[in-house]
Amino acid sequence: MCAVNTALSVMSYDYPTEKLSVYVSDDGGSKLTVFAFMEAARFAALWLPYCKKNKIVERCPEAYFRSNLSWFPETDQIKMMYENMRDRVEKAVQKGSICHDYIPNEGEGEAFSRWTDGFTPQNHPPVIQVLLESSKDKDNAGHTMPNLVYISRGKSATLPHHFKAGALNVLLRVSGTMTNAPVILTLDADMYSNDPQTPLRVLCYLLDPAMDPKLGYIQFPQLFHGINENDIYGGQLKLEFQIEASGMDGLVGSTYTGTGCFFRRGVFFGGPSKTPELNQDHLVNKSINSKEVLAMAHHVADCNFEKQTKWGTEIGFRYGSLVEDFYTGYMLHCKGWKSIFCNPKRPAFLGNSPINLHSTLNQLMRWSVGLLEVAFCRYSPITFGVKSINPLTGLCYAHYAFWPIWSIPITIYAFVPQLALLNCASIFPKVCPSRRSLASQL
Ligand SMILES: O=c1ccn([C@@H]2O[C@H](COP(=O)(O)OP(=O)(O)O[C@H]3O[C@H](CO)[C@@H](O)[C@H](O)[C@H]3O)[C@@H](O)[C@H]2O)c(=O)[nH]1
Ligand SMILES: [Mn+2]
């Protein structure tokens, strides 16, 4: 349901819906996810006009119904519809299968036939399902709906999938064949839009003629909800996501932090693309549900597509680090692109952060390995970055990349005092009497 809320919150952006397309990537390759998004597509027909008519700012349904919501004549009905949808999805997840009564038409039922017997999350052909098509589907008030497309990229147990970077590159290619919009937002499934005006804010930067044409992306801070007010455990990661990002903004711009970031599509195509359909300027004028477009989309989402191409090295999101966001932003800066850190008063996005020790340790471990992969690769910020971007930004990137090394002095510092105490040893040099009197005088 978290991903459904993410999608609904951006589908209801204050932006012409015929120009808006939401692509959902499901690396788990589950029919339950398709089912959840079919339900979301139906609910969107009610939710979008409700939000727009009543000028609702909180457009993530879960957050809206949880808050002290403003009441309108149709609120109770919408709330009931939302809860019914949530129950159906949660029941299906609990049971692990979808009840036939929940599938209203044959077309939808047919989508599930792609899950054949040999289909596993690690080994399956690509599945792309258009759930809403802007040129055909209308909401309950008769307005156009945005496109909503489900994608589960092809996977093979014998080929590397490159984790999230691999998934993002498939999204980049499939959206290229279907709609090819010049601006792309990447948003994690555990975050949602908290401000429907965000795309307009971004366009102010991108369309400003006075702006540097090298502006490649606009990063919003990662802010989390559900953290106690004073954040006594530092769960907001304020230093990394807000303070340091503002500092780097004074140089060539903030790092890319994986979510809540709007890119110009062009930044991912540093070199000429091999497939003409993926050329960033190509205009798609066929229906996204047409045979040709779907065939091309399936082709570019196949696990064999990237063989012998520059995907992940020179084009698209970069492979080679578990922190693909940090590495991709860094390589874009090395190529000469600039970025902007935009931190509006009302948070543009809100997300979940790990709330127990196990998931925190898991995340820190993943980040540490990923950062060290960048620190010691051939494009290390300390050697390559300081030359390619500028010395100061290179050092900023080095500060992040070598950050896991802090674990060594911190571990020593955590144990030495106790060991010293147990062994009656002093960890500080003895102060001789003359110096002590000097110290006391000082
Ligand atoms: O093989 C994978 C692994 C992850 N994801 C997606 O990646 C997103 C982020 O994963 P999450 O588990 O939320 O990781 P976090 O540690 O919270 O993510 C932070 O760190 C990641 C690595 O640096 C960044 O990509 C994220 O944007 C950033 O929020 C999720 O939406 C996942 O669905 C994939 O699609 N495929
Ligand atoms: Mn996350």
Q: Partners of 183 in the beta sheet?
A: 264
d(Cα 72, Cα 81) in Å, to the nearest integer? Answer: 15
On whether both 335 and 378 belong to a single domain, the answer is: yes
Whether 215 and 351 map to the same domain: the answer is yes
Answer with the one of 97, 127, 158 that is the final residue of a domain. Answer: 158
Expressed as residue numbers, the domain containing 151 is: 1-158
For the chain, how many helices (H) and strands (E)? Answer: 16, 9
In-domain check, residue 200:
yes
Own/partner pairs, 279-283, CB within 8 angstroms, 24+ separation = 280/176, 280/180, 280/182, 282/176, 282/180, 283/180
Q: What is the CATH number of the domain that holds 364?
A: 3.90.550
The proportion of the chain whose per-residue pLDDT surpasses 90, expressed as a percent, equals 76
Ligand 1, residues 5, 27, 188, 328: which to mutate, most atoms within 8 A of Cβ?
Answer: 188
Burial class (CB in 10 A: 0-12, 13-18, 19+), 302: middle
Residues 366-395, buried b or exposed e (16+ Cβ, 10 A)?
ebbebbbbbbeeebbbeebbbebbeeebbe
Distance, in Å, from the CA atom of 277 to the CA atom of 409, rounded to the nearest integer, reads 52
The catalytically annotated residue of 14, 26, 27, 212 is 27
pLDDT tens digits, 63-122: 999 987 788 999 999 999 999 999 999 999 998 888 777 777 767 777 888 888 889 999
pLDDT over threshold 70, residue 272: no
Q: Structurally, how many domains does the chain consist of? A: 2
- State whether 141 and 220 are in the same domain: no
Position 71 scores a pLDDT of: 85
Q: Do 248 and 351 belong together in one domain?
A: yes
Query: Other C-beta atoms within 10 Å of 362: how many?
Result: 12
Other CB atoms within 10 A of residue 75 CB: 16
Q: Is the pLDDT of residue 356 over 50?
A: yes
Q: How far apart are CA 221 and CA 218, in angstroms?
A: 10
Asked whether residue 202 falls in the same domain as residue 343, the answer is yes
Does 228 lie in the same domain as 79? no
Q: 3-state class of 156 per DSSP?
A: coil
* Distance between CA atoms of residues 403 and 197, nearest Å: 35
CA of 305 to the centre of ligand 2 (A): 28
Residues 198 and 131 in one domain: no
Q: What integer is the mean pLDDT of 260-276?
A: 74
In a domain, 441, yes or no: no
What is the percentage of the chain residues whose pLDDT exceeds 70? 94
The active-site residue out of 26, 137, 139, 325 is 325
Distance CA 20, CA 18 (A): 6
CA dist., res. 399 & res. 146, Å (int): 41
Classify residue 441 as exposed, middle or buried by CB count within 10 Å of its CB (0-12, 13-18, 19+): exposed
189 touches ligand 1 (CB under 6 Å): yes
Ligand nearest to the CA of 366: 1
Nearest CA to ligand 1 atom 22: 323
Distance in angstroms (rounded) separating the CA atoms of residues 263 and 182? 8
The amino acid at residue 210 is A
Q: Are residues 149 and 257 in the same domain?
A: no
Distance (Å, whole) CA 417 – CA 400: 28
**Same-domain pairing of 194 and 51:** no
User: Residue 208 catalytic?
Assistant: no
Residue 274 pLDDT grade (very low, low, confident, very high; cuts 50, 70, 90): very low
Residue 130 sits in the same domain as residue 195 = no
Q: Token pair for residue 1?
A: 């349901």
Q: Please give the distance, rounded to the nearest whole angstrom, from the Cα atom of residue 353 to the centre of ligand 2.
A: 6
Same domain, 121 and 36: yes
Note the pLDDT tens digit of each residue in 361-416: 999 999 999 999 999 999 999 999 999 999 999 999 999 999 999 999 999 999 99
